Structure 1
Amino acid sequence: MQLNVKANQPERVDRLDLFRLIVRSFFLQASWNFQRMQGLGFVFALSPILQKLYKDSEERTKAFVRHLKFFNTHPYFASFILGAIARREERRAHTGSPGEEEIISFRTTVSGPYAAIGDVFFWGALRPLAAALGLAFIVPGGRAALLGPVVFFMIYNLFHLPIRIMGVIWGYFQEELVPQRLQQLNLIGLAARLRQVALIVLGAAAALTPHIEGVSWENHGLLLKLSAFLLILLFSELNRLRWSVHWQLAILAITSMILVHSLD
């Protein structure tokens, strides 16, 4: 259904509105529930913009209701959708188009693919790598262990924050080009490389654990080097077979304990 254009034109979305949208997007899952998933958080993020665009209470209510529907995607990639929806709602408020069904259809169509990309990159690659590098500082103990959480958050947020911030901006200004932008980033390919680096770090950490626990390199140096090589091959093969990161961490813990006790 097309919106009747009012003589009194609504306002435009400005930079302050986009800034508010970015900030509110961080609370997307604050009201997560099984009925609408992220639907309520989605409306919360868009709320200031919808109130600004729709002066008529009836149209404003309709705008809120259509975005209260079921919505579920990766929380970081929701920023791309929020930006694009803000642009579409602005056009609808000014021109009556796109229609309500088109806006809902767009939101539903892109949520699935964006969820898949986000899960593969952030949950399946970046988070394990950041955790592995953080553990590299924690395992030796001492003051260096305090850097472990810092390293984890620095590496993780190096990717996480730009995606959330730029997602809203790209979504609003380049809504039709967002899929091309994501394709250029090649996050799926980057995720595969990050997983390989994480597995190398895990393999090296497992092999170095006996030395950290006091096992002498002089007496077992060759065996430790061989163990490191074999463990790196093992984790590379597990990655090729697409084993869960949780299983790989369990194998890391078991092999580390075996090495420590066998060489002690």
Structure 2
Amino acid sequence: MSNLTKSIPADERKMLRKVFWRSFTLYAAVSPAKQGASGFCYSLMPFINKFYKEDEEGKKAALTRSMSYFNTTIPLSTFIMGLAASMEKENSERKDFDTNSINAVKSSLMGPLAGIGDSIFWGVLRVIAAGIAVGLGSAGNVLAPIIFLVLFNVPSLLIKYYGTFLGYKLGSEYIQKIYASGLINILTKAASTVGLIMVGGMTASMVTFQSTFEWKMSGKSILNLQSMLDQIFVGIVPLGLTLLCYYLLKKKNISITVLIIGVIVLSILLSLLGIA
């Protein structure tokens, strides 16, 4: 047993192992609006059930928090789970705990860890493992596929396992310190800002609109809709559509399913009309 796991009480170590095994279901039920939220919530349930055993309203609130959007590289996901578990523990013990900080910290870590994780595990480790396996396979070694799986999965699983304990350990140590120093409000605001930046970046890269409408007279183009929109504000349509969906979702309580169907229908109509 490593020093990292030794320093955590036995009952909490047991729950952290449950979090690790449950984390394999992270993307078992993915939705466009939540991604791995259901898997994240399921993974944290051992802690939520224990810490809020006598507080039904607190348990409901914790489960609701855990069902917020979650998406990051799988081997590093358990670090955030461990951190969230430690914050839920602190929340169950402190009446002055800012519950907004839990999702703020979670959201702020998803993007950076996804960038680091994708680069390391998909960009480096997978390529190295595949290079070794391909070399063995071309030489006629029948164990080449197994070697690839071992080289890629063993480091990933080790980081995923110990990341659970590391996130929990760091969380339990530093959350008390930042509360004592009064930095929790600054941390929450900074984490919320980083989370909003990540959402803004996702909007800019994932929501696209390219108009094909062009008005011509005497064979000359006198109006190019896309060019005109870009002169006003580059990405104005994706931004406007995102803000409209957010307004309908939050203010008008329109379901995400209706919004997705609406966007699909609108896209088909714009295509048929030759606008986009």
**TM-score higher than 0.5:** yes
Map of 1:183-222 to 2, 5 A cutoff?
none
Map of 1:77-96 to 2, 5 A cutoff?
77-96=76-95
- After superposition, give the CA deviation of every residue in 1:151-190 in whole Å (9 maximum; x if it has no partner): 1122112311111011001001123889xxxxxxxxxxxx
- Say which SS state the counterpart of residue 69 (structure 1) adopts: coil
Map of 1:70-149 to 2, 5 A cutoff?
70-141=69-140, 145-149=141-145
Give the TM-score, by structure 2 length. Answer: 0.56
Check conservation: 1:36, 1:70, Cα contact below 8 A.
yes
- After superposition, give the CA deviation of every residue in 1:181-212 in whole Å (9 maximum; x if it has no partner): xxxxxxxxxxxxxxxxxxxxxxxxxxxxxxxx
Letter of the structure 1 residue corresponding to residue 82 of structure 2: G
- Which segments of 5 or more consecutive residues in structure 2 lack a partner in the other structure? 1-9, 175-276
Letter of the structure 1 residue corresponding to residue 91 of structure 2: R
Identity of aligned residues (%): 30
Aligned-partner Cα distance in 1 for 2:121–2:173: 22
Letter of the structure 1 residue corresponding to residue 37 of structure 2: G
- Say which SS state the counterpart of residue 142 (structure 2) adopts: helix
Q: Residue 42 of structure 2 aligns with which residue?
A: 44
Check conservation: 2:79, 2:163, Cα contact below 8 A.
yes
Letter of the structure 2 residue corresponding to residue 156 of structure 1: F
Map of 1:154-173 to 2, 5 A cutoff?
154-173=150-169
Q: Residue 205 of structure 1 aligns with which residue?
A: none
Equivalent pairs counted in the alignment come to 164
Q: Residue 199 of structure 1 aligns with which residue?
A: none
Letter of the structure 1 residue corresponding to residue 112 of structure 2: P
Aligned-partner Cα distance in 1 for 2:19–2:87: 14
Aligned-partner Cα distance in 2 for 1:33–1:77: 20
Give the TM-score, by structure 1 length. Answer: 0.59
Letter of the structure 2 residue corresponding to residue 39 of structure 1: A
- Say which SS state the counterpart of residue 26 (structure 1) adopts: helix
Aligned-partner Cα distance in 1 for 2:87–2:96: 8
Aligned-partner Cα distance in 2 for 1:13–1:63: 20
Aligned-partner Cα distance in 1 for 2:58–2:173: 29
* 2:58 equivalent to 1:59: yes
- Say which SS state the counterpart of residue 76 (structure 1) adopts: helix
RMSD, aligned CA = 1.9
- Which segments of 5 or more consecutive residues in structure 1 lack a partner in the other structure? 1-11, 179-264
Check conservation: 2:86, 2:172, Cα contact below 8 A.
no
- After superposition, give the CA deviation of every residue in 1:28-83 in whole Å (9 maximum; x if it has no partner): 11112211011111001001210111122211111101110111111111111001
